Every structure is written in C-alpha cells, then in structure tokens.
Structure 1
Amino acid sequence: MKYKILCSDLDGTLLSSKSDVSKFAIEQINKIKNETKVILVSARMPSGMRYIQESLGITDQPIICYNGALVLSGDTELTSVFIPVPILKECYSLCKGLEADLGLYFNNEWYVPKSSLRVEKETKYTKSTPIFQDTESTLANWEKREVGAHKIMLMCTKESADTLMPVLKDKFDDVLNLYRSNDTLIEIAPKEVSKLSAIELLLHKDITLKEVIAFGDNYNDIDMLANVGCGVAVANARDEVKAISNYITLKNTDDGVAHFIAENLVN
C-alpha cells in the first residue's frame, strides 16, 4: 500500500546517532517526500527538530513537538496545550527534598535551575540551549504571562525517580501523561494530547489513519503505532512497543527506518 503520510519519532528511532539523521536516511526520504508527507513526531522542543527537518528537506511540513502538546506549521501554531502553573507548583513541591530538578519547556523556551550532566547531554544532542533560572522565578514569570509547560522533564537519580513516579501517578494520573524514559528521567505532558491526537489533527478529510505509516521505539509511541495503518518498531524498541507493531525493522543505529523505507516504500 502507498501511504500518504509517514510519521517518525526521532530519538532512538529515525536518528542513527544521538543527534543527527544519516546520509542514507536523507537519501531514502528524498525518494518518497514528493508523494508521501514526512512529519517528525517527538518529545523534543521545536529547535531540537528544525535542524533535522532542514537536513531532510521537509521544512514545508508541520512538526509535532512535545509528544503532541505543540504542533507547528512554520511559525504558525496549529495547537498548543500546556500544563497550567498551579499543577507545576504542585509538582515542584513534591520534588523538594529529593534529588530532582525540573526542566520546564514552553514553545521554544527551555528553563533549568542549574547545569548538570543531563542538561549538557540534552544541549549537545538536541542542539538547543537552556535558560538557567531558578524554578520559582520561571513559574512566577509564566504565571504573569498566563502560559505553562508543554513538557516537564524531571531529572532525577534512580532513587528519587523511584520515589516520585508512584506519587505523581497517584496525584496527577487524571490530568498528566507521565512516562519514565529511563531510570533517571520522568517526562510529563498534558493528559489530553498524544502523538496520535496530533497526527489526527493534521489529517485532511481525504486522508485517514489507515493511510499513515509510523515509526517509534518508546512508550509514548504506542498509541501512534497501534492506531495508524502501519506501525513499525525499531529493533531496539521496548518490548511493549514491538508487541503492538505491525513490523519490526533494524535498530536505529543500523538505520532501521531508512532500510524499511528503501525496502517497502520506494518505488
């Protein structure tokens, strides 16, 4: 089947390294992008996605940022859903006394209270620069502006993440999407959005989910892969992701997405 839209997660999926798309992936996407819309879908902030769009030559397409909380077409916001400041204050209060820093994201703004190995890695891999500011000041500024967080990245130790995750789920499970991307990171987004809801927003009346193919590797990709016409997991994906996918391709480090495109989508 010829798919009208291809959606791909970035980290651990399309990116064969920590920060860049490979020459082979660029070549394969160039072969299909005139007939198939290629849309990047990520937990990243816009600046961490734009340079990849440019590499692929798909800047005419929208991008789905923050797991669907922010969808942009050029500089135009198609949707923007953020976590309000009162909830952010509660999350911050729960973190006090624990080794846990809040990385707070709104649109193309990224605030952290201090530098750390995690912040340095994020800066390097996403080619984005944080603003160093204490969390209280960030929340006070956002309260005045009447904005909130498109994403929270809780940067923890394993022990503090073990402590926080069940407490956060118990308190906020009805309003927040919480998932642990690794032992020390908890990513938090508004409950009412997902990668799937953002894709649905971009469907035109002549395109259905059955005409979408998607690639992913992590828990936040499950809804997307399970509901599109063809869901493809990379070999390094979590077992739960592989279980609901139609196909499993090679690892991201072996250019699994590009190989699947070359073998199945290129005429």
Structure 2
Amino acid sequence: MRYKILCSDLDGTLLSTKSDVSEFTISEIKRIKNTTRIILVSARMPSGMYYIQENLGILDQPIICYNGALVLHENKVIHSVSIPLTVVRDIYKLTEPLKVDLGLYAHNDWHVPKTSERVEKEIKYTKTIPTFKSTKNSILEWEDKNVGAHKIMIMGTKETADILMPQLNTKFQQELNIYRSNDTLIEVSPKSVSKLSAIKSLLADDETLNDVISFGDNYNDLEMLVNTGCGVAVANGREEVKKSADFVTSHNTEDGVAQYIQQHLHI
C-alpha cells in the first residue's frame, strides 16, 4: 500500500531505546522518505525532536510537538496554541499546597524549579537542558514576554496525582486535556489540540487522512490511529490502543515500526 504521509510517535514507538532510533529504523525511513513525507508526532519539545529528525535525514519535514500544541517546519511556527498564563497560575495555586513540581514548556523553553530523578531522566532522554527557576518566577517572566505554556508537566507522587486528577478534571476539563502519563506524572495541554488536529493542519489540498499511516503506543495516540488511513500500534502499547488499531506490529525495542515499513510500505 502507498501512503503519502507517515506520522509516528516517538517514545515507546519509533525509538528503540529511551532516546534513539536504531540503524534499521534509519535505513527504512531513508528508503521511503523521497516518496513519503515523514512527520514526527510527540509530546516532546522541539529540541528533544530535532536530533532524531537529523538522524533520520528529515530535517526538511515538519514536526508536531507537545501533542499538537506546536507545529514547526524548519524552525518556523505553522500552528501554535498555548495554555493562558491565568490558567497556569490557577494550576500552580492548586498544586502548590501538595509540594509537587511543575515543568513548564513554551516553544523551546523548559522551566523546572529544581532537579529531580524525573528531570534528570528527561535531560538524558531528550538531550535538552532546562532552565532552573521557581514556578512563580517563570510565570512572571512569561507574563513579561506575553507567552503561554504549550505543556505543563505535574511531577509528584502517586498519592498527589491521585488527589490532583479529579480536582484538575473538575476545574479545567472544559479547556484542557489532562492526561496521566504514569502513576506520578500528569501532562496538561490545550483542549483544542491533539496529534490528529495537528496532522490535519499539515495536509495539502489534494491530501486526506486516508493518505496517512500512523504509529503509536499510548492513549494520546488513539485518535490519530483510529482516524488515519492506517493506524499501527506497537506490541508494547496500551491494550485499548492495540484493540483500536488496524494492525499491531512488534515492540518498539524490536524495531516494530521499521519492521512494518519494510514488510508493507513499498516505493
């Protein structure tokens, strides 16, 4: 089958380790990239995606960052939707009594109040260094710049996440996507965006979602997998995601995306 566009999630999907693509994946992407547009789609910030684009030889292609809140093409903003700082401040007021840390992301800025095991992992895996600044001062700085947050990462414990999830949903579910990425982490992004909405913004006049094949593993990939021409889940993906996909390939650590490309996508 021929598809005009291939869209792939990174962590747990295209990446065979926590931070890199394999030589097999690189060779398969390079084999098809002249006839298929390759678009990386991730919750990551731009700097955590550029080095992967470079390894794949697709720096001339767009990237979808922050689960669709920011779309860039060769460093130019194609689409951007952010969380207003009034809402960021309200979330800060809600989380501060529980002593959890907020990671604030806007364009290529990443602010955290202090280092932690979680922050050190993200530095290692995304090859990006944050700005260490209190959340209060970060909000004041961004107010001066008149920018909002493309993503908020709430970093606590299982207990604090259990407390915060219902509170966040009650107060903000009409305006925000609130997504628990694991027991201790809650990701927050603008309600009006998704990976699928960002893909739609990149379609040419003669292209439809049926021209897109997509790969993913997690709940934030589900809409993309269900609504594109072919949705492929990796074997390590969430059960609900695998049940909803058109096809399930091997684990990300076994180069599942590259295996599928090799077996099914022909020039």
Q: Given the two structures, how large is their TM-score scaled by the length of structure 2?
A: 0.99
Structure 2 counterparts to residues 219-230 of structure 1, below 5 A: 219-230=219-230
Gaps of 5+ in 2: none
CA-CA distance at 1:97 after TM superposition: 1.9
The superposition leaves residues 148-190 of structure 1 with CA deviations (integer Å, 9 ceiling, x where unpaired) of: 1000011110100011011101110010001111111101100
Indicate the residue corresponding to 2:84 in structure 1: 84
Query: Counterpart amino acid of 1:106?
Result: A
Rounded Cα–Cα distance in structure 2 between residues aligned with 1:125 and 1:9 = 15
Query: Shift of the alpha carbon at 1:266?
Result: 3.1
For residues 216 and 130 of structure 1, what CA distance do their matches in structure 2 show?
A: 27
Equivalents in 2 of 1:216, 1:245: separation in Å? 9
Give the drift of 1:250.
0.4
| Displacement after TM superposition at 1:94 (Å) | 0.7
Amino acid at match of 1:186: I
Partner of 1:257: 257
The letter for the 1-side match of 2:2 is: K
Shift of 1:119: 0.2
1:200-215 alignment, distance < 5 Å: 200-215=200-215
Q: Which runs of 4+ in 1 moved over 3 A?
A: none
Aligned to 1:186: 186
Structure 1, gaps ≥5 residues long: none
Q: Secondary structure at the match of 1:7?
A: strand
Letter of the structure 2 residue corresponding to residue 39 of structure 1: I
SS in structure 2 at match of 1:50: helix
After superposition, give the CA deviation of every residue in 1:92-145 in whole Å (9 maximum; x if it has no partner): 011122141100000000000000000000000000110000000000111121
Other-structure match for 1:8: 8
The answer to whether the aligner puts 1:151 opposite 2:165 as a matched pair is: no
- Please give the alpha-carbon distance, in whole angstroms, between the structure 1 residues aligned to 2:248 and 2:139: 42
The residue correspondences of 1:53-202 to structure 2 (distance < 5 A) are 53-202=53-202
Counterpart position of 2:248: 248
For residues 77 and 96 of structure 2, the distance between their equivalents in structure 1, rounded to whole angstroms, comes to: 34
Cα distance in 2 between the residues matched to 1:29 and 1:10:
14
Matched, 1:21 2:21: yes
1:62–1:74: 8 Å Cα contact kept in structure 2?
yes
**What is the alpha-carbon distance in structure 1 between the residues aligned to residue 152 and residue 232 of structure 2?**
27
Q: Do 2:213 and 2:230's aligned partners in 1 also have CA atoms closer than 8 Å?
A: yes
Deviation digits for residues 197-220 of structure 1, max 9, x if unmatched?
000000001111001000000111
| Identity fraction in percent | 63
Contact 1:28 1:266 survives alignment (8 Å): no
3-state SS of the aligned residue for 1:233?
Answer: strand
Q: Check conservation: 1:24, 1:258, Cα contact below 8 A.
A: yes
- Which whole-Å deviations, capped at 9, do the CAs of 1:238-262 have from their partners, x for residues lacking one? 1111121000000101110000000
Alpha-carbon separation, structure 2, partners of 1:266 and 1:28: 10
Aligned pairs, how many? 267
* 2:236 aligned residue: 236
User: Is the 1:25–1:255 contact (alpha carbons within 8 Å) kept by the matching residues of 2?
Assistant: yes
